[in-house]
Amino acid sequence: MRFLLDTEQRAFAASLDAMLSAADTPAAVREWGRGERASGLALWSRIAEAGVFALAVPEAYEGLGPRPVDLAVAFVQLGRHAVPGPLAETVAAAALLHDPGPAERFLPALAAGKSMATLAPEGSYAVDGDAAALRLALAADGLRLAPGHGPVRPSLDPARRLTRLLPGGELLTADPPVDRALCWARLATAAQALGVGLALLERTVAYVGRRVQFGVPVGSFQAVKHRLADAKIALEFARPLVLGAAVTMSPADVAAAKVSACEAAYATARTALQLHGAIGYTAEYDLSLWLTKARALRTAWGTPDACRAEVLRGRT
């Protein structure tokens, strides 16, 4: 099995990287956390124009997919640039809306970026329920269109605002493909986490090259090199797991990719925080946006223990 990206996929990743590098995503994240969504929505539209959300939507509903490998390639870049919004939730919603009626009604707008989606068990907290036009609630009798949301609450990650979905609402389907949606959400989360870890490593390598102690850059100290090397190895081991899971879309493979990528990103975040010193703790410093995202993604769509249990079930 090949895990190397082809020329088109590498060009796709490079184009997204260039677009997001010019977009000042840290400013958009901070505005999003304050409830000011103009910059975030404009960024969402540009990402949709690049075809990212269409990769999760079947061609029959004006999408380009489903194309999980290309989606994983894109989500690594979204993680690298800390893009705000219900990214994995929109992908999961596209997987849940499999019945022709709801699919024709909602999927074209998701593919085009005209709408974003969030979902959660009925009565539970959903990500960015105040920004999402499509709020899906998993109820005891099926998938429902939530009639609204409760008060907005901040979360650890400022790019992920939490709201409770109100109970009731229109029943869209009595038998939603929950396992399929979970698989897609975990893949998107794993790819995002890989991108977050890569960004943290890049920023930390640059910082220790500039910071001087005892007349030399701290990056020249052997102990610092060892910490960065450990982070690099963990991320590079996670990368083929993410791409391989996108090829098979096996629940066990996707769970393994998520736990590997999220744990690598979290370990890299801890290393980045330690090597930055006191400045790493300040919310005003952009590094914090990736630090908090690494922690939030670690438990999103399945804790490490839950994902390890899924891997074991798939091997027995």
Percent of the chain with pLDDT over 70: 99
Q: For the domain that residue 210 is a member of, what is the CATH number?
A: 1.20.140.10
Model pLDDT, residue 156: 87
Examine the domain organization and report whether 251 and 305 are in the same domain: yes
Neighbours of 24 (CB within 10 A): 12
Examine the domain organization and report whether 45 and 126 are in the same domain: yes
Tokens of 242: 């993410």
Tokens of 175: 């038998």
Examine the domain organization and report whether 13 and 141 are in the same domain: yes
The residue type at 230: D
Element (DSSP H or E) covering residue 126: strand 125-127
How far apart are alpha carbons 242 and 110 in whole angstroms?
24
Q: Report whether 127 contacts 162 (CB < 8 A).
A: yes
| Mean pLDDT, rounded, for 20-41 | 95
Query: Is residue 2 assigned to a domain?
Result: no
| Higher per-residue confidence, 59 vs 1 | 59
| Residues whose CB falls within 8 Å of the CB of residue 257, separated by 6 or more in sequence, listed in order | 186, 187, 190, 238, 241, 242, 244, 245, 246
Provide the 8-state DSSP code for 136: E
Examine the domain organization and report whether 142 and 35 are in the same domain: yes
Q: State the average pLDDT for the chain.
A: 95
Examine the domain organization and report whether 244 and 183 are in the same domain: yes
pLDDT-based confidence at 280, cuts 50/70/90?
A: confident
Query: Is residue 134 assigned to a domain?
Result: yes
Model pLDDT, residue 2: 59
Model pLDDT, residue 3: 66
Examine the domain organization and report whether 120 and 243 are in the same domain: no
Q: What's the pTM value of the predicted model, to 2 decimals?
A: 0.96
Q: Report whether 296 contacts 155 (CB < 8 A).
A: yes
| Mean pLDDT, rounded, for 289-303 | 96
Q: pLDDT tens, 195-245?
A: 999 999 999 999 999 998 899 999 999 999 999 999 999 999 999 999 999
Model pLDDT, residue 94: 97
Q: pLDDT tens, 2-19?
A: 568 999 999 999 999 999
Examine the domain organization and report whether 102 and 193 are in the same domain: no
Model pLDDT, residue 20: 97
Neighbours of 133 (CB within 10 A): 12
* Residue ending a domain, choose from 176, 194, 218: 176
Model pLDDT, residue 95: 95
Examine the domain organization and report whether 117 and 266 are in the same domain: no
Q: pLDDT tens, 65-92?
A: 899 999 999 999 999 999 999 999 999 9
Q: pLDDT tens, 156-197?
A: 898 899 999 999 999 999 999 999 999 999 999 999 999 999
Tokens of 256: 């393994």
Model pLDDT, residue 9: 95
Specify the residue for token string 């396992």.
179
Instruction: Give yes or no for residue 154 having a pLDDT over 90.
Output: no
Percent of the chain with pLDDT over 90: 90
Model pLDDT, residue 1: 53
